[in-house]
A and B are shown apart, each in its own frame.
Chain A
């Protein structure tokens, strides 16, 4: 049915499938995963497409093994993906931390459903925002992107791969069950027109190469498996040779950099969409599917004469602190509807709360906010 590596054009495509196609377009040739609603279609599509493209699909025995397989594939030199939902991320978190510590590029798609635990398997939520940020133990920086449409499931999966290779780390695509299961037009450009960041390999000879030597950069160069490099890597605190050196001094060299490689490049990583924010008195901050479902409520509030704008963080993590601070100094307040009991609003409040009121509109999942609740919150902020 498909002409493999030449899939481009306009398609009426489901979000999960667009995510898989985005991964393939980015050069991903491995998926390790375990099926879970509402992410199963990502794996299903990859199971069909990867063998055609000389890639490998493995359905593992569980999510812990899946992410381990993904990390292994990445070290073998293959761009690798796993797709799951919140319960799967809970199981993966141990090895997500390993990926962060070993600085292993890969993309983790979380098509969010309502939790905690098995929660509402077939419906949606956005309640894994803080799980993505702090899911594994210890300190590390995180990149997470939130698509609002099947088109962005395609586009942002490519962006996620680019960031993962550039910053050498697992990167999250934080989708949700609505975006994942929704079908819309997806434009897939010819693969040669896509911007793909390829892995940076060392130019040093085996013997001279140290896997965590920085040479003045924030991110070390990779060595290609099979090219004769012999080195060690570990989840233990390690020196530039990759050997475990369990001292306070090495910890200081090893761990802060895992955060600084993000914090020093926030401007490169943060993607935002703004609508009518220039003259706004009130700004609604919404991401993913909620950034669309609040639009009718914003239009209603505008009809009532309130100048409302929308700020949509496409990059959820790192937090778009700079722009929100700028806006906080000139607006009357923020309204933060999200399909969780108030997670992202904690960060908004941390940054903007010292300037203006920040109002949370929580929702536990399985449905959307009522327009009236959002309009009411906007009115409250606008009229003090």
Chain B
């Protein structure tokens, strides 16, 4: 079982990111996934989080109290959920947006300037796809083909090429 927490701001596609992972796993990888999301009066810019539980069998407990994988796209999300990442868990964070990092010795921490890469691609909005590509490479929570199929069925058709490109760059990114 893998419990994935994704955190950031409203408007970054945090919930879409969980949807893409959950759909990749459950529809295209033949495993099971349960996705839930924080549901509050969050507007664009406010903090936002969502989570997916991945399992080979039906997911019993669909919530994520502590996670095996944390994707952090904001300082607030990093600060809030890092203490709930298990020892030996994997953290993928946007290295530009998370400026103040803590000691990472108990976990496997990987940074990527996802938002900067997305801006270079011309659309800041695909930063979540960049970091999903990166997280796929770091954790293997879903297969590449499943993630791409899921992205294909989720994003608007006219932005598909851009999103696939964003995913590939994230997937192939090597931390400096």
Contact of B61 among A123, A181, A295 (CB under 8 A): A295
Task: Say yes or no: is A330 at the interface (Cβ < 8 Å to chain B).
Answer: no
* Pair A12/B36 contact, Cβ less than 8 Å: no
* Pair B62/A292 contact, Cβ less than 8 Å: yes
* Pair A182/B60 contact, Cβ less than 8 Å: no
Contact with B along A268-300 (1 / 0, CB 8 A): 000000000000000000000100110110000
* Chain B residues, CB < 8 A from A233: none
CA distance A38 to B32 in the complex (A): 24
* Shortest Cβ distance from B37 into A: residue: A181
Residues of chain A touching chain B, judged by Cβ–Cβ distance below 8 Å, are 10-12, 37-38, 122-123, 177-178, 181-185, 289, 292-293, 295-296, 368
* Pair B39/A183 contact, Cβ less than 8 Å: no
Contact of A182 among B26, B32, B34 (CB under 8 A): B34
Q: How far is the CB of B67 from chain A (nearest CB, A)?
A: 16
CA distance A295 to B62 in the complex (A): 11
* Pair A295/B60 contact, Cβ less than 8 Å: yes
A293 touching B39 in the complex, CB below 8 Å, given contacts A12-B22, A12-B33 = no
Task: Say yes or no: is B85 at the interface (Cβ < 8 Å to chain A).
Answer: no
Task: Say yes or no: is B27 at the interface (Cβ < 8 Å to chain A).
Answer: yes
Contact with A along B121-150 (1 / 0, CB 8 A): 000000000000000000000000000000
Q: Which 7 A-B pairs have the closest CB atoms?
A: A12-B23, A295-B60, A183-B35, A185-B26, A122-B39, A184-B34, A182-B36
16 more A-B residue pairs beyond the given contacts A12-B19, A12-B33, A184-B35, with a C-beta to C-beta distance below 8 A? A11-B27, A12-B22, A12-B26, A122-B40, A177-B39, A178-B63, A181-B39, A182-B34, A182-B35, A182-B36, A182-B62, A183-B36, A185-B32, A293-B63, A296-B61, A368-B63
* Chain A residues, CB < 8 A from B35: 12, 182-184
For A37, A182, A295, A296, the residue with the greatest tally of chain B CB atoms inside 10 Å of its CB is: A182
Number of A-B contacts (CB under 8 A): 56
* Pair B36/A178 contact, Cβ less than 8 Å: yes
* Chain A residues, CB < 8 A from B61: 292-293, 295-296
Tell me the residues in window 63-92 of chain B with beta carbons closer than 8 Å to chain A beta carbons: 63
Task: Say yes or no: is B59 at the interface (Cβ < 8 Å to chain A).
Answer: yes
* Pair A185/B27 contact, Cβ less than 8 Å: yes
Residue contacts A-B, CB under 8 angstroms, 27 given: A11-B27, A12-B22, A12-B23, A12-B26, A12-B27, A37-B39, A38-B39, A122-B41, A178-B62, A178-B63, A181-B36, A181-B39, A182-B34, A183-B22, A183-B36, A184-B22, A184-B26, A184-B62, A185-B26, A289-B62, A292-B59, A292-B60, A292-B62, A293-B61, A293-B63, A295-B60, A368-B63
CA distance A292 to B34 in the complex (A): 12
For A12, A37, A292, the residue with the greatest tally of chain B CB atoms inside 10 Å of its CB is: A12
CA distance A37 to B40 in the complex (A): 10
How many positions in chain B have a CB within 8 Å of any CB in the partner chain? 19
CA distance A157 to B34 in the complex (A): 20
* Chain B residues, CB < 8 A from A177: 39
CA distance A149 to B28 in the complex (A): 20
Q: B-side binding surface: helix, strand, loop or mixed?
A: mixed
CA distance A289 to B62 in the complex (A): 9
Q: How far is the CB of B25 from chain A (nearest CB, A)?
A: 9
* Chain B residues, CB < 8 A from A183: 19, 22, 34-36
Contact with A along B143-163 (1 / 0, CB 8 A): 000000000000000000000
Q: How far is the CB of A9 from chain B (nearest CB, A)?
A: 9
* Shortest Cβ distance from A124 into B: residue: B39
* Chain A residues, CB < 8 A from B59: 184, 292
CA distance A123 to B36 in the complex (A): 12
Q: How far is the CB of A3 from chain B (nearest CB, A)?
A: 15
* Shortest Cβ distance from B18 into A: residue: A183
A185 touching B33 in the complex, CB below 8 Å, given contacts A12-B22, A295-B61, A296-B60 = yes
CA distance A11 to B22 in the complex (A): 11
* Chain B residues, CB < 8 A from A185: 26-27, 32-33
CA distance A233 to B130 in the complex (A): 62
* Shortest Cβ distance from A148 into B: residue: B62
* Chain B residues, CB < 8 A from A11: 27
CA distance A123 to B63 in the complex (A): 13
* Shortest Cβ distance from B40 into A: residue: A122
* Chain A residues, CB < 8 A from B19: 12, 183
* Chain A residues, CB < 8 A from B40: 122
Tell me the residues in window 96-120 of chain B with beta carbons closer than 8 Å to chain A beta carbons: none
For B36, B37, B60, the residue with the greatest tally of chain A CB atoms inside 10 Å of its CB is: B60
Q: How far is the CB of A224 from chain B (nearest CB, A)?
A: 41
CA distance A182 to B63 in the complex (A): 10
CA distance A190 to B40 in the complex (A): 36
* Shortest Cβ distance from B24 into A: residue: A12
* Chain A residues, CB < 8 A from B41: 122
